[in-house]
Amino acid sequence: MMMENKVYICSTGIISPQANFGKKEDFALASEYTGSSLHCIEPDYKSILDPKLIRRMSRIIRMGAAAALECMVHSEVQQPDGIITGTAYGCVEDTVSFLTKMVENKEELLTPTAFIQSTHNTVGSQIALLLKCHQYNNTFVQRGFSFEHALMDALLLLNENEAKTILVGGIDELNETSEAILKRFGLYRTNQNNLQLLTTSGKGSMAGEGASFFLLSSESSSGNIACLDDLKMLFDPNEETDVVQWIHYCLSENNLTWEQIDLVITGRNGNQQGDLIYDKLEFSIAKKTRFAYFKHLCGEYPTASSFGMWMAVSSIRENKIPFTVTSKTQSGTIRKVLLYNHDQNGHHSLMLFSAC
């Protein structure tokens, strides 16, 4: 969407398969995984959350709440005017736990905790509880657009002047059960090294997970990291040419040429079929532009674009691409970044960032 008002990204908080929680820079060495999946490196929560609460929370709630609080700590804001989360799968562990007991115990002797925490808005509402935030609170669950729709809703609120600051995040967890089910759909490779995922083209990717939060603001401040200039989505395009046309339309709407973009971050994930469109952009359309990737770092999951956004914002802040795998040599400062991601060719999104 084109915004009337500028939208600033004040701070980030992230828990991912990389050791990037709580750090502001020095993302040099990427963590290595072998197998079908990447799992989050969780921090010692005791410094962030009340130990009594930690015991009650399932993993996705801990990760989401900690990433959100971390994001708030790095901002100058005490309380946001709204909390919006995006999650495709929701609270998988609690859902599976309640379902399993229900099936095994034949609907008898069940306890409420897992059910209570199984609703998709649990992370968003736990954050509201922790921050004692009575303001706007919403949760989007639109598969590969879950995070994008949360972000869209935040941009709407900022543009309506209904809010000055919004905490927005993308969260999805991977657990043994969901991985076993997703594997049966043939989405992942076996015995794959993540650092070689993007250089060995084949069928399937690696599964991932993460919790990435951002504090957005409509007000300028010296502490702001970057601006979010545009967000666009394309749902279920018929063919590749439609996607290319749409990307060019978005660039022209922002008065941009490929040469003016310092860095393009794509959702390349190693799955040959899905990577065709990224190949087309990188090797035929925008040959001179620098490209970088992120899914070898966080794995593939429906809200992975939120990790991509962290990478885009961090690249602008550090003038360096975190855990870099880049195709073309770096030159000049990183001021304008385009993030393009698609989820199984159905949900395509573009985000445009710039230095403030």
Partner 1 sequence: MHSSDIFVTGIGVISALGKDVNANVHALQSGESGIGPITRLKTIHRNVFPVAEVKYSNEELSHFSGMSDEISRTALLSVIAASEALEDAEIHTDSGLRIGFVSANSVGGMDKSEDFFAEFLSDHSKGKLRNIVHHECGSITELAAHYLGIHHYVSTISTACSSSANSIFHAARMISAGYLDVAIAGGVDSLTRFTLNGFNTLMILDTQPCKPLDENRKGLNLGEGAGYVVLVSEAAMNKIGKKAYCRLSGYHNANDAHHQTASSPDGIGSFMAMQGAIAKSGIRKEDIGYINLHGTGTQNNDQSEGTAILRLFGDALPKLSSTKAFTGHTLGASGGIEAVFSVLSVANGYVYPNLRYETPMKDLPLHPVTSFQIDTKISHVLSNSFGFGGNCSALLFSK
344 binds partner 1 (CB under 8 A): no
Q: Which is closer to partner 1, CB of 121 or CB of 165?
A: 121
Enter the tokens of residue 176: 């043994």
Contacting residue, 107, 239, 259, 331, with partner 1 by CB under 8 A: 107
Contacting residue, 62, 149, 189, 336, with partner 1 by CB under 8 A: 149
18 binds partner 1 (CB under 8 A): no
102 burial level (CB within 10 Å; 0-12, 13-18, 19+): middle
The terminus-to-terminus CA distance of the chain in angstroms comes to 18
Contacting residue, 19, 30, 53, 156, with partner 1 by CB under 8 A: 156
Q: Which is closer to partner 1, CB of 97 or CB of 217?
A: 97
Give the C-alpha separation, 324 to 30, whole Å.
Answer: 8
Stretch that binds partner 1, among 105-113, 191-199, 201-209, 210-218 (CB under 8 A): 105-113
Contacting residue, 41, 73, 110, 276, with partner 1 by CB under 8 A: 110
Contacting residue, 104, 219, 242, 253, with partner 1 by CB under 8 A: 104
Q: Which is closer to partner 1, CB of 55 or CB of 184?
A: 184
Contacting residue, 97, 146, 266, 314, with partner 1 by CB under 8 A: 146
Interface positions, 213-242, toward partner 1 (CB under 8 A): 233, 235-236
| CB 132 to partner 1: min, Å | 5
- Would you tell me how many other CB atoms lie within 10 Å of the CB of residue 201? 13
Contacting residue, 27, 33, 45, 98, with partner 1 by CB under 8 A: 98
Q: Which is closer to partner 1, CB of 104 or CB of 240?
A: 104
Contacting residue, 32, 34, 42, 181, with partner 1 by CB under 8 A: 181
| CB 155 to partner 1: min, Å | 9
145 binds partner 1 (CB under 8 A): yes
Of 168, 149, 148, 163, the C-alpha closest to 218 is 163
Stretch that binds partner 1, among 66-74, 125-133, 209-217, 248-256 (CB under 8 A): 125-133
Contacting residue, 70, 81, 93, 153, with partner 1 by CB under 8 A: 153
Contacting residue, 53, 136, 280, 325, with partner 1 by CB under 8 A: 136
89 binds partner 1 (CB under 8 A): yes
Interface positions, 289-308, toward partner 1 (CB under 8 A): none
What SS3 string covers 69-80? HHHHHCCCCCCC
Token pair 């989505």 is found at 233
Q: Give, to the nearest 10 degrees, the angle between helix 59-73 and helix 122-131.
A: 40
Contacting residue, 34, 100, 201, 257, with partner 1 by CB under 8 A: 100
| Pairing between β-strand 136-140 and β-strand 291-293 as defined by DSSP bridges | unpaired
106 binds partner 1 (CB under 8 A): yes
